[in-house]
């Protein structure tokens, strides 16, 4: 019996089909739902959701608040992660990889459980139910810190030390060497860290729900509510489109269309 001929190229057919069915078509459906509405059971093309979003004070303030929470969380993550990554990368310890490991280890543990544990701690400190915004920001920083430390460490570790020595030889003091050489050279890490923390901080509503006792509605929660509570999938899809535009714009602004997330997800560590 003759074997069926196959070429290695054909191996991507199942994956291509899978992506078409479960990624491309669903994304097109969001677009379709966003620009249609249902009136008396008939689906018609409309800009009502678009107009509805931008004329609703509540939705716009949710967007603004969510943006603010995400910016503050990202900034704090960067401020906390940079010194840690810097110290680890600069350390002369032989086992600094193991040390790094200890810092980012929690990202392999179910985040819902970790956030619930943080909730217990905040409750103990008397912050729960009184400091909803603060708790949400603490939670975002807690959850996403490893995703900031990892890319920063990777770039700082690879940084060519000859540049730093050259800068020092040319008369730069420690501060100028850092601001003029180290920091600019670590920008790729900073950028990939920001892209990895910013978007989830706008959308991961498990964190805000758990730590604010369901009192804070971030953008991701708003989408969830339109699907599960209000049962208005058209508006939910429109908010998703707006979120996608924001993601696209941050990517464009930071030039972050790279495989950075894989690195941060620790693919290289398993």
Partner 1 sequence: MVKKIISVAICAIVLLFVYAPILLLVVYSFDKSNVINIHEFSFSFDLYKQLFRDSKIMNILLNTIWLALAAAGLSTILGTAGAIGIFYSRRRFAKPIYGVSQIPVINAEIVTAISLALLFSMIALYRTYFSLIVGHMVLCTPFVVLSVLPKLKQMDSNTYEAALDLGASPAQALFKIVIPQIFSGILSGFMLSVTLSLDDYIITAFTKPKTFDTISTYVYNAVKNGANSSTPALRALSALIFVVMIAVVLLANLRARKSASKEPSKG
Give the footprint of partner 1 on residues 202-221 (CB under 8 A): 202-206, 209-210, 214, 220
**If you compute the radius of gyration of the chain from its CA atoms, what whole number of angstroms results?**
23
Helices 57-90 and 132-158, packing angle to 10 deg? 40
As beta bridge partners, residue 36 has: 45
Residue 116: CB minimum distance to partner 1, A: 6
Would you say 101 and 269 are in contact if contact means Cβ atoms under 8 Å apart? yes
Q: Residue 46 and residue 37: Cα distance in Å, rounded? A: 6
In the set 117, 166, 252, 253, which binds partner 1 (CB under 8 A)? 117
User: Residue 240 is inside which H or E element, if any?
Assistant: helix 233-254
Residue with tokens 């930071």: 254
Which residues from 128-147 bind partner 1, rule CB under 8 A? 142, 145
What DSSP assignment string belongs to 11-22?
Answer: GHHHHHHHHIII
Which residues from 64-83 bind partner 1, rule CB under 8 A? 80, 83
Nearest to 43 by CA among 34, 55, 56, 54: 34
In the set 102, 161, 169, 171, which binds partner 1 (CB under 8 A)? 102
Give the interface segment with partner 1, choosing from 47-55, 152-160, 183-191, 231-239 (CB under 8 A). 231-239
Q: Is 42 in the site for partner 1 (CB under 8 A)?
A: no
Q: Is 119 in the site for partner 1 (CB under 8 A)?
A: yes
Q: Is 30 in the site for partner 1 (CB under 8 A)?
A: yes
Q: Is 268 in the site for partner 1 (CB under 8 A)?
A: yes
Binding mask 162-201 for partner 1 (x = CB under 8 A): -------------------------------------xx-
The count of chain residues that interact with partner 1, using the rule CB under 8 A, is: 89
Residue with tokens 């804070």: 216
């Amino acid at each position: 019996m003759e074997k069926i001929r196959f070429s290695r190229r054909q191996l991507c057919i199942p994956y291509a089909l899978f992506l078409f069915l479960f990624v491309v078509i669903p994304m097109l459906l969001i677009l379709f739902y966003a620009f249609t509405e249902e009136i008396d059971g008939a689906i018609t093309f409309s800009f009502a959701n678009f107009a509805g979003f931008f004329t609703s004070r509540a939705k716009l303030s949710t967007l603004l608040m969510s943006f603010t929470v995400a910016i503050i969380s990202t900034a704090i993550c960067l401020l906390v992660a940079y010194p840690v990554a810097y110290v680890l990368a600069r350390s002369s310890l032989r086992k600094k990889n193991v040390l790094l490991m200890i810092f980012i280890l929690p990202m392999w543990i179910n985040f819902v459980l970790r956030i619930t544990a943080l909730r217990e701690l905040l409750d103990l400190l008397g912050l729960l139910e009184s400091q909803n915004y603060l708790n949400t920001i603490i939670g975002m920083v807690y959850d996403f810190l490893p995703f900031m430390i990892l890319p920063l460490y990777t770039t700082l570790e690879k940084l060519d030390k000859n540049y730093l020595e050259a800068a020092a030889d040319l008369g730069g003091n420690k501060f100028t060497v850092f601001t003029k050489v180290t920091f600019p050279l670590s920008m790729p890490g900073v950028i990939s860290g920001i892209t990895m923390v910013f978007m989830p901080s706008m959308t991961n509503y498990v964190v805000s729900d758990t730590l604010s006792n369901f009192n804070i509605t971030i953008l991701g929660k708003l989408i969830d509510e339109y699907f599960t509570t209000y049962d208005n999938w058209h508006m939910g899809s429109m908010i998703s489109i707006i979120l996608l535009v924001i993601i696209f714009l941050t990517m464009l602004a930071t030039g972050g269309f790279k495989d950075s997330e894989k690195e941060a997800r620790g693919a290289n560590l398993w």
